[in-house]
Structure 1
Amino acid sequence: MSEPHDGLEGAVALVTGASRGVGRATVAWLRARGARVVASDLRPEVRELAEPDAVACLVGDVADEETAVRSVALAGERFGRLDILVNNAGRTVNKPLTETTVRDWDGLMGVNARGAFLHAREAFRAMRARGEGGAIVNVGSYTCTVALPEGSAYSASKGALAQLTKVIALEGGPHGIRANVVAPGVVETDLLDDIRDDSRAYLRSFAGAHPLGRVAQPAEIAEVIGFLASPRSSFMTGAVVAADGGFTAA
């Protein structure tokens, strides 16, 4: 894999929520640039990404502390280190505030906020111990900065993720560990498949809310994630980077 490089040849990355959508596209982007990857997901389909000596797969719930510990340890065991963490795993629930249950709230906070915290904590520890820095990229949402009607739990979880990222950036700076958030607009993935039969059509119905007149494709968000994971963004940390087709420009 000689082109393109982006300074990632031989780097080791951990990507959560890797079996589909943005996560799967990110694994492909990293592999195209010579990085080795630990691909983690709750879905057993993540094993389809396995490549000898290049992609190691792990099935587990990101909200479980053991999954975070195992994932970071696997990077060290298989590839000798960890340079990049992409916290991509996420869930969504669209309900009015008065209909949102404690189970809804805890489920979204567990994956979107707790899961990112656990993986960032373990990755930070590994990167700091190695002493050569690293990059943590958290996949947020436009709801990191603006509210989503009927999205109390989702908006709160992504707002928490943005603040967590800023703390990681402050604590990581002296160790050369950078942390940034990618904040996409609506992306045409199967994120809603578990709760809507018409998820793709529903997502595309938001096209007009973006000044570009369409929703994003997973590979477009993977490009931004990859940039923030690479040495090309070496002076960026603590940023919330909108990749939302202009959704939050108004």
Structure 2
Amino acid sequence: MKKNIVITGTSRGVGFELVKKLAEAGHEILALSRNTKPTEELNLANITSISTDLSDMNNLDKVVDFIENSWKKVDILINNAGKLINKPFSELTSIDFEEVYKVNVFAVAELTKKVLPFMPEKSHVVTISSMGGIQGSMKFPGLAAYSSAKGAVITLSELLAEEYKEQQIAFNVLALGAVQTEMLEEAFPGYQAPLSASEMADYIFDFSLNGNKYYNGKTLQVSSSTP
């Protein structure tokens, strides 16, 4: 059955691959990213690309306008966008923390809040976190802002699953291990991840469409290595 799916962070990496795979499967996609060129160049009629700076909350009003005027409902929201700053803690400024939290936490909360009124029963909100946000997992130095933000959205999703369970809207988190993306290469040049963006997108594709039948308020660790 065709779904209306909102995805953030769609210009590259896992988000771009997800847009491609879900659109090719016949779903209606709203792709949100500052750079809309990659998704526009796919030339698929069922993809709408809106240039969105998630760190600016005012940008989210145009998303609501589109949903109100064109779709009326949203079946799946995938909070995929992420910002990573790799610096020793002693060098991380309050501005760095704010920038990372704006995209990885505040935008997730704000966009979810704006989309929820359009979500019917059996809808699914999937938030992409990181193994770095899991308590007890191996941590990488330099990611104090990023990994702590990824931990915050795990708790946020657990709370929302509780608050919206009577509406039968499911909230789940996928804590990803290392994936070979441009963001990883920028932060850790030369590091070789075990999975490609396309392979990870295959997993998220299935989970976003079906995971809410089996899970709610859960965080799944999508990583082939032990924490």
Q: Please report the TM-score for the alignment, with normalisation by the length of structure 2.
A: 0.90
2:72–2:118 Cα contact (<8 Å) kept: no
Q: Distance in 1 between matches of 2:21 and 2:197?
A: 11
CA positional deviation for 1:133:
3.6
Cα displacement (A) at 1:83:
0.6
Q: Aligned partners of 2:79, 2:210: CA distance in 1, in Å?
A: 18
1:117 to 83, 99, 109: 109
Give the stretch that moved more between structures: 102-111 or 62-71. Answer: 62-71
Q: Is the 8 A contact 1:69 1:119 kept in 2?
A: no
Does residue 104 in structure 1 map to residue 96 in structure 2? yes
Change beyond 3 A, Cα 1:172–1:224: farther
Deviations 1:111-163 (A, max 9, x none): 11111111111121221xxx434110101100121333221101111001111
Q: Percent identity?
A: 26
Q: Distance in 2 between matches of 1:87 and 1:105?
A: 19
What CA distance in whole angstroms lies between the structure 1 residues aligned with 2:71 and 2:147?
36
What is the match of residue 229 of structure 1? 208
> TM-score, length-normalised on structure 1?
0.82
Counterpart of 1:243?
222
AA matched with 2:202: E
Counterpart residue number, 1:137: 126
Name the count of aligned residue pairs: 223
For structure 1, which runs of at least 5 residues remain unmatched after alignment?
A: 1-8, 208-214
User: What's the counterpart of residue 158 of structure 1?
Assistant: 150
- Structure 2 spans left out of the alignment, 5+ residues: none
Q: What is the aligned-residue RMSD (CA, Å)?
A: 1.9
Q: Tell me, what secondary structure is at the counterpart of 2:49?
A: strand
Equivalent position amino acid for 2:72 in 1: G
Give me the whole-angstrom Cα distance separating, in 1, the residues matched to 2:212 and 2:60. 25
In structure 1, what is the Cα distance between the partners aligned to 2:64 and 2:76? 10
Deviations 1:75-130 (A, max 9, x none): 34333321110011101111111111112111100111111111111121221xxx
2:43, 2:76 → 1: CA distance? 18
| Segment of structure 1 superposing worse, 69-78 or 18-27 | 69-78
Please say if 1:202 is aligned against 2:190: yes
